Amino acid sequence: MDLFEHEGKELFARFGIPVSEGRVATTPDEARAAAEELGGPVVVKAQVLTGGRGKAGGVKLATSPDEADALARDILGLDIRGHVVRRLWLEQASDIAREYYLSVTLDRGAGRTLLMFTTEGGVEIEQVAAESPDALVRVHVDPLEGLEPHHLRELTAGVADEGERAQIERIAEALYDCYVESDATLCEINPLIVTPDGTVRALDAKVTIDDSALPRHPDLAMLRDTWAADPLEAFARERDVIYVKLDGSVGILGNGAGLSMSTVDVVVVAGGKPANFCDLGGGGSAEGVVAALEVISRDPQVRSILFNIFGGITRCDEVARGILTALDQIELSVPIVVRLDGTNAEEGRKILADAGNPAVHVSPTMLEAAQLAVELAA
Ligand code: GDP
Ligand code: MN
């Protein structure tokens, strides 16, 4: 789960990492009020879960509440690489002398926590890594031993100013604690700025929390539910359905992530465009099918549904009954193409055929099923 910048900053602040004072706004009026409260120049920042907002016009400086209002009008609704801006963060503008980069992340290959720091911040870190790899300091920490003072010294060895170095070490230590205690897989500050008077502060926040650990962090899990980027994704989560919205017209349901992804590919091969990626998981119980169909049918872009099941532990007859139960319970306005294979596939197909529902089409192979679903969606 990725946090929005302002959520990440709130988390940082709890660990003692200095951030600027700010407010959330969802309308131009709120942006104006926020700018008035904050006083002086403010930065108006798009809150979307993607980087490079600055270059995309999602980060602007306002010198007055009037200007904050006008910028909010420009930025709200802006599409930044597929993410529509619905929320802004306004904070007191900082004077910047230098921009650094600091992060704590999981190095899966090394089986360790990785701290990275460079004085060449502000730009994409991949660019620094490619163009001046020597400028990027990488320090591994054994998660069982924990962070030691020598790690911090190694990390900031290239910083000439002693006062600055001390602040960065304190921030790195706090960021490490934040990473560990929040069960994060990434805590990144880019840029970490130095102001003209020598104060170091986090100007941006990128935090990813390990989804599997969310039950241990109800406060963070709550953020996701209240601010879900897509209301349908939140609806799906409540029902334990894995659902990812795409922009085509064929709704996809599979059991297991691998099969669901292959189904997405097959729909593209058949000349169609997937409306979503929906994974029933290994179960495929009637309730699971009902929940998944409920989610998919709420997406107005869906014109047909391709239901692809490979029965292993999941039995196709049970899935077929689940489909019929679902059709009794919810009003589905689009046709479903079902491909059943594996355990009890024949029995499952017979159950569907006997039911004689005109909205349900049964297809024996994945490709034929996809072709039919694409045809029906056209
Ligand atoms: P990103 O583009 O999504 O990474 O968004 P950032 O929060 O990193 O902002 C992009 C850039 O805007 C930063 O690298 C800064 O150069 C600039 N910026 C952001 N906040 C301020 C501020 O308070 N003062 C000034 N002068 N520049 C800022
Ligand atoms: Mn940034």
Number of Cβ atoms within 10 Å of the Cβ of 143: 12
351-362: per-residue pLDDT in tens? 999 999 999 999
Residue 229, pLDDT > 70, answer no
Distance 93 CA to ligand 2 centre (A): 15
Residue 261 tokens read as 């992804």
Atom of ligand 1 nearest to the CA of 45: 7
Residue 225, pLDDT > 70, answer no
Mean pLDDT, to the nearest integer, of 78-97? Answer: 93
pTM of the predicted protein model: 0.71
Supply φ then ψ for residue 147, to 5 degrees: -80, 135
Residue 25 tokens read as 């706004």
Atom of ligand 1 nearest to the CA of 96: 26
List, as one string, the DSSP characters of 148-178.
-HHHHHHHTTT---HHHHHHHHHHHHHHHHH
- Ligand 1 in reach of 52 Cβ (< 6 A): yes
Mean pLDDT, to the nearest integer, of 206-214? Answer: 93
Q: Which residue's C-alpha comes closest to atom 7 of ligand 1?
A: 204
Residues 80 and 48 sit within 8 Å (Cβ to Cβ): yes
Nearest listed ligand to the Cα of residue 203: 1
CA distance 371 to 301: 18
Q: What is the pLDDT of residue 128?
A: 85
Mean pLDDT, to the nearest integer, of 246-264? Answer: 90
- Ligand 1 in reach of 28 Cβ (< 6 A): no
Residues 250 and 272 sit within 8 Å (Cβ to Cβ): yes
User: Where is 140: in which H helix or E strand?
Assistant: strand 137-141
234-249: per-residue pLDDT in tens? 788 778 888 888 889 9
pLDDT band at 364 (very low <50, low <70, confident <90, very high): confident
Dihedral sign from CA coordinates of 81, 109, 171, 168: negative
CA distance 334 to 350: 21
- Ligand 1 in reach of 96 Cβ (< 6 A): yes
Residue 161, pLDDT > 70, answer yes
3-state secondary structure of 306: strand
Distance 21 CA to ligand 2 centre (A): 17
3-state secondary structure of 217: coil
274-302: per-residue pLDDT in tens? 998 888 876 667 778 888 888 898 888 89
- Ligand 1 in reach of 49 Cβ (< 6 A): no
